[in-house]
Structure 1
Amino acid sequence: MTTPRRQRRGRAIAMSPEEVDAFLRTTRTCRVATVSATGRPHVAPLWFVWDGAALWLNSVVRSQRWTDLALDSRCAIVVDAGEDFFELRGVELSGRAEQIGSAPRTGEPDPELVEPEELFARKYSASGRMTHDGRHGWLRLVPEKVTSWDFRKVAAPTT
């Protein structure tokens, strides 16, 4: 696995690797940006899990996102939070997404999916169990570049 490129600008507001890890493990929704075969951009929200090295997306296999990524695996994903400017924080991850396991996922044992499915069930299921609906599949993004920001690290101007 390659190490993601470090961000050059905005180091004063960049999150540490530990902060990025904690943020990605607890935040619930990301926005996934893809490009269609005709060059049309597509951005849509999605639930995800982070295992410390890769972002796992549980996506409907008949979605525009899935279709786009099957043709061009490049994508960018933003996870962000905050209401006021000096509360804004987030992470942008970019790279290539790859399909892992069967599509759609039926629940057949797959050693590669044990950890992301356990993480997903703990994060999103009241029962703590992963359910398979025959419509979703797994995409994995091992980021080539990670950029982060946390405006809570700079003081808000006093009036």
Structure 2
Amino acid sequence: MSRREQIRMTDEEIEGFLADGRVVTCATVGPAGRPHLLPLWYVPDGLDVLCWTYRSSQKTANLRRLAEATLQVEDGERYEDLRGVMMECGVKIVEDADAVAEVGLAVARRYTPGLAPGDPVPPELERAAAQQAVKRVALRFSPTRIVSWDHRKLGGVY
């Protein structure tokens, strides 16, 4: 078995890794054909990734031109601890304000300190998501190809 096969994560491991991750790096193709990289907060939905961003942002313009992106979530500081997932994705831009607010609320729920899954959402969070939704779009990244690595699986043997 190749080392590549030994460090590959299963779909279940990838889902768990995405659930534990905090920031996804998103690469789109800019107007001059060069990569446009940026960090995003996200909500995993199985192997899909949901984000929201400003309607007038460069990444939105890039995705309107070419609805494809590459995402990466990574972790680890020493070589033997490196883990990550790189996903080449098709991207759906969601414009409906209610659907955008729903994604925004899911992002807010995930990143608001002290708000645990299943806790009631404070009304001010709902209002903020609804107000922001008119200026934003939601993005659904659906992987067409996934590459993953978990060097911890090698047990320090290279």
TM range (shorter): 0.7 to 0.9
CA distance in 1, matches of 2:7, 2:95: 37
Map 1:10-89 → 2, pairs under 5 A: 10-89=4-83
Question: Tell me, what secondary structure is at the counterpart of 1:142?
Answer: strand
Cα distance in structure 2, aligned partners of 1:119 and 1:21: 17
Aligned partner of residue 41 in structure 2, secondary structure: strand
Alpha-carbon contact 1:101-1:113 (below 8 Å) kept: no
Amino acid at match of 2:110: K
Q: CA deviation at 1:113?
A: 6.8
Residues 51 and 107 of structure 2 are in contact (CA less than 8 Å); yes or no, is this contact kept in structure 1? no
| Equivalent pairs, count | 144
> Matched residues in 2 for 1:94 and 1:135: separation?
27
Deviation at 1:10, TM superposition (A): 1.3
Q: After superposition, where does 1:72-151 map in structure 2 within 5 Å?
A: 72-102=66-96, 105=97, 109-110=98-99, 114=102, 116-117=103-104, 119-126=106-113, 127=115, 128=121, 129-130=125-126, 131-132=128-129, 133=132, 134-151=134-151
Q: Which residue pairs with 1:153 in the alignment?
A: 153
SS at match of 1:123: helix
In 2, the alpha carbon distance for the partners of 1:44 and 1:97 equals: 16
Q: For residue 101 of structure 1, report the CA deviation from its aligned partner.
A: 3.1
The one-letter amino acid paired with 1:139 is L
- The root-mean-square deviation of aligned C-alpha atoms, in Å, is 2.5
Q: In the aligned structure 2, how far is the partner of 1:9 from the partner of 1:101?
A: 43
Contact 1:58 1:136 in 2 (8 A): yes
Please give the secondary structure, in 1, of the residue aligned with 2:155.
Answer: coil
Query: Which residue of structure 1 lines up, in the alignment, with residue 118 of structure 2?
Result: none
Q: CA deviation at 1:135?
A: 3.5
Q: Deviations over 1:15-56 (max 9, x none)?
A: 111110011112010100011232121111111111104111
1:118: how far off? 5.5
- Percent identity (aligned): 29
